[in-house]
Amino acid sequence: MPSVPHDLAAFLVEAKRHTYAGLDDDATVATPLLTGSKQLGHSAPPYTYRDIYFGMGFFVGQETVARDERIIWSMSYSGGARADIMDRDVFLAIYKFLRQALLGVRAEEPFRGPRLFEQAGMVYRNEVEGSLDRFHGVETIARDDGAPLYGLRYSGGLLR
C-alpha cells in the first residue's frame, strides 16, 4: 500500500477551498484541456490540483493531484440535481448551498464536504468509507422536510 504524503490532506483542503467551493466558475481556467469541460486548478508546490468536469444539472468529473508533475491521487465523481427540478432559482439555490457545504471540507476526510451541514432549509449529508489512500462515498442534499434534491457518488485514492 502506498504511503500517504503527510501534507496531502492539508493541500487538498486548501485546493478545494480555492476552486469550486470558494470561487465557483471564477476559478475556471480559460482554456481547459478537454473541449467542452470546465477546469479548475490550484497550485502550491510541490503539488498541483486539477478538477475537470462536464455538465451541470447532471455532471461527471475527476480531480487529480500531481506532486512534482506526477499524478499521485485522484477522485472521480458523478451526480447532480434531481432531473425533475426545472426551476432555475431552485437549481441555483441547491448549488449555492452545495458550495457552502463543500467549504466545510476537513483534513480528516478531504474528499467532499463535512458529514452533516444544515442551512437555509436544506440538509447536506456525506457518507464516506475508507481513507485518503482508498475511499468511496455518497453525498446528498435534501430539504429539511426530507424531500431529496441532489445526489452524488465519488471514489478514489492514491495511485500506484
Q: What share of the chain is helix, strand, coil (3-state, %, to 5)?
A: 20, 50, 30
- Grid cell digits, residue 99: 458550495
Residue 45 CA, chain-centre distance (Å), reads 21
Does residue 24 carry a pLDDT above 90? no
Q: What pLDDT does residue 82 have? A: 96
What pLDDT shows up at residue 1?
55
pLDDT, one tens digit per residue, over 125-136 is 999 999 999 999
Higher pLDDT, 124 or 30: 124
pLDDT digits (tens, 9 = 90+) for 104-119: 999 999 999 999 999 9
What's the pLDDT at 27?
A: 63
Amino acid at 148: P
Comparing C-alpha atoms, which of 82, 33, 27 is closest to residue 54?
A: 33
